[in-house]
Amino acid sequence: MPELAEVEYFRKRWDPGLGARVARVEFHGMARLFRGIPAAEFEKTLTGSRLVSSAAHGKQMIFRFDRATLGLHLGMTGELRTAPPDFVPGKHDHLVLFQKGATLVFSDPRLFGRILFQKGRCDPDWWTNRPPDLLSPDFTKAALAVFLLRRKAAPIKAVLLMQERFPGLGNWMADEILWQARLHPSTPGGKVADVARLWKTIRSVCRDALRVIGANWADPPDDWLFNHRWRDGGTCPRCGLELLRQDIGGRTTCWCTRCQAG
DNA sequence: TCTCGTGTTTCTTG
DNA sequence: TCAAGAAACACGAG
């Protein structure tokens, strides 16, 4: 389920490896996660390198080593964890970095994730050219308004999932934002009347999700749609009406027909 | 056995 | 050339 907050949570799971060198690398180099990465160079460079720092931006993570950078994207089912030194990688553990104190594991059953790799200490282009963080001052109401006009015909649900403008938003966060902002998910981008309200809601949902899920994988408050959206028969925590689930913008979308009448 | 899915990329259509 | 939708990717869960 990795969206913004979950990605931040997973990133920190590799913190025990900070400052330590990689003694051995095990990986399934042929898995599609590694698209185009030369296996021999990958292994040679990472072996002996020291993990210096890490950061997350949206759904993308960067792990900086003293002689290379590693980019990780979790796709739909990826996860990071640490394991004991005698860890034996399983079928879905596609990248395992053995250090003296910790074993860093990246697993992904569905192989929708992605691994990026660049030799050297410079941050790669895919990191330096990223769009503004949704909580940064550069994500402005004006920028949001311009983007909505550019995507004027697309349903707002689909627009919120566009990572080029909303890095880190995924399916449940988009539904949560639209529910809190009382916007029907099919509303065309160009027809969003209260852009300021949408902007404010995007920021508050991101901030709260990071605080709650990003910190320790706790559940968001019970009065969020989040806790009611997963099963058929769930009801709106605001008005009690049964929630509707339907495919909008190619994704399963959950909303309240009364609160989000459009 | 069949359907579905918290993501992204590529292809197709308009 | 751009925007929007559909299909594809791969596999476990229900």
Give the pLDDT confidence of A194-209 residue by residue, as tens digits: 999 999 999 999 999 9
Show which positions of strand C are touched by protein (CB under 7 A).
3-7, 9-12
Q: Is the CB of A258 under 7 A from strand C?
A: no
Has A176 been annotated as catalytic?
Answer: no
Query: What are the Cα distances from residue A92, in Å, to A88, A106, A253?
Result: 11, 8, 29
What is the tens place of the pLDDT at every residue in A220-260?
Answer: 888 999 988 887 788 999 999 999 999 998 899 999 999 99
The answer to whether the Cα torsion of A9, A144, A200, A178 is positive or negative is negative
Q: Give the CATH number of domain A4-128; options: 2.40.10.10, 3.20.190.10, 3.40.50.10070, 3.40.50.720.
A: 3.20.190.10
Q: Which nucleotide is nearest to A252 (CA to C1')?
A: B5
What is the tens place of the pLDDT at every residue in A110-127?
Answer: 999 999 999 999 999 999
Domain A141-255 in CATH 3.90.660.10? The answer is: no
Phi, psi of A185, rounded to the nearest 5 degrees: -65, -20
Own/partner contacts of A192-195, CB < 8 Å, gap of 24 or more, are A192/A148, A192/A156, A195/A141, A195/A144, A195/A145, A195/A148
The angle at the Cα of A189, spanning A186 to A190, to the nearest 5 degrees, equals: 125
Bridge partners of A50? A21
Q: What is the mean pLDDT of chain A?
A: 93
Count CB neighbours of A82 within 10 A. Answer: 17
The burial class, CB within 10 Å (0-12 / 13-18 / 19+), for A51 is: buried
| pLDDT, position A192 | 96
Q: Which nucleotide is nearest to A169 (CA to C1')?
A: B6
What is the tens place of the pLDDT at every residue in A149-173?
Answer: 999 999 999 999 999 999 999 999 9
Count CB neighbours of A157 within 10 A. Answer: 25
Identical topology for domains A4-128 and A141-255 = no
Angle at which helices A195-216 and A171-180 cross, to 10°: 130
CA A197, CA A139: separation in Å to the nearest integer? 14
Is the predicted pLDDT of residue A262 greater than 80, yes or no?
no
Has A59 been annotated as catalytic?
Answer: yes
Backbone torsion region of residue A168, taken as left when φ is above 0, otherwise alpha when ψ lies between -120 and 50, otherwise beta: left
Measure the N-to-C terminal CA separation of chain A; round to a whole number of Å: 28
Domain-wise residue ranges, chain A? 4-128, 141-255
State which H helix or E strand residue A253 sits in: strand A251-255
Q: Which nucleotide is nearest to A59 (CA to C1')?
A: B7
Has A3 been annotated as catalytic?
Answer: yes
| pLDDT, position A31 | 87
Of A118, A124, A125, nearest in space to A42 by CA? A118
